[in-house]
């Protein structure tokens, strides 16, 4: 398991020590280049949960009073520590066009705009021909 600390460089050594200590011999956490790599010493599956590591990182952030500044994401055996707001979320919702005035209707299929509801219905019928 790997924890990406590229945005958490100053505290990664301390965090690695914290994780090792809290896992009480179940694993060791080592700093390797920009990441913390967690080596599990036990084959027992309850020691292999990324949920457990995430909650340890969160409690570490809380003790440092940093929980408001960082957020965690995880994917399989990988956990990232990111400055809040640093993750680029694809703006799929931008297609919703929320800025239209309330009396303007937009065709969901092509973006055709009209203020006349019957005209829009007539227009939308074209897409089903």
Contact, 27 vs 47, CB < 8 A?
Answer: yes
40 binds Zn ion (CB under 5 A): no
Helices marked H in 38-102: 50-63
Q: Which two tokens stand for residue 97?
A: 């066009």
Judged by CB, which is closer to Zn ion: 22, or 123?
A: 123
CA distances from 78 to 35, 64, 115, 119, 123 (A): 10, 22, 50, 52, 49
Judged by CB, which is closer to Zn ion: 100, or 110?
A: 110
107 binds Zn ion (CB under 5 A): yes
Half-sphere exposure of 78 (CA within 13 A, CB side): 4
Residue 98 Cβ vs Zn ion, minimum distance, rounded to whole Å: 19
Residue 99 Cβ vs Zn ion, minimum distance, rounded to whole Å: 19
Judged by CB, which is closer to Zn ion: 87, or 108?
A: 108
> Exactly one of 110, 113, 119, 122 binds Zn ion (CB under 5 A); which one?
110
Judged by CB, which is closer to Zn ion: 74, or 114?
A: 114
Helix (H) or strand (E) holding 124: helix 117-126
Q: Using CB under 5 A as the criterion, which residues of the chain lie in contact with Zn ion when the complex forms? A: 107, 109-110, 112
């Amino acid at each position: 398991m790997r924890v990406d600390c590229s945005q958490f460089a100053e505290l990664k050594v301390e965090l690695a020590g914290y994780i090792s200590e809290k896992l009480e011999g179940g694993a060791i956490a080592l700093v390797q280049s920009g990441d913390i790599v967690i080596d599990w010493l036990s084959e027992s599956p309850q020691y292999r949960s990324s949920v457990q590591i995430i909650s340890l990182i969160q409690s570490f952030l809380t003790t440092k009073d940093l929980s408001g500044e960082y957020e965690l994401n995880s994917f399989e055996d990988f956990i990232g520590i990111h400055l809040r707001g640093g993750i680029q979320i694809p703006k799929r919702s931008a297609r919703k066009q929320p800025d239209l005035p309330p009396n303007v209707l937009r065709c969901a299929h092509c973006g055709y705009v009209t203020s006349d509801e019957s005209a829009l219905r007539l227009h939308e019928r074209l897409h089903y021909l």
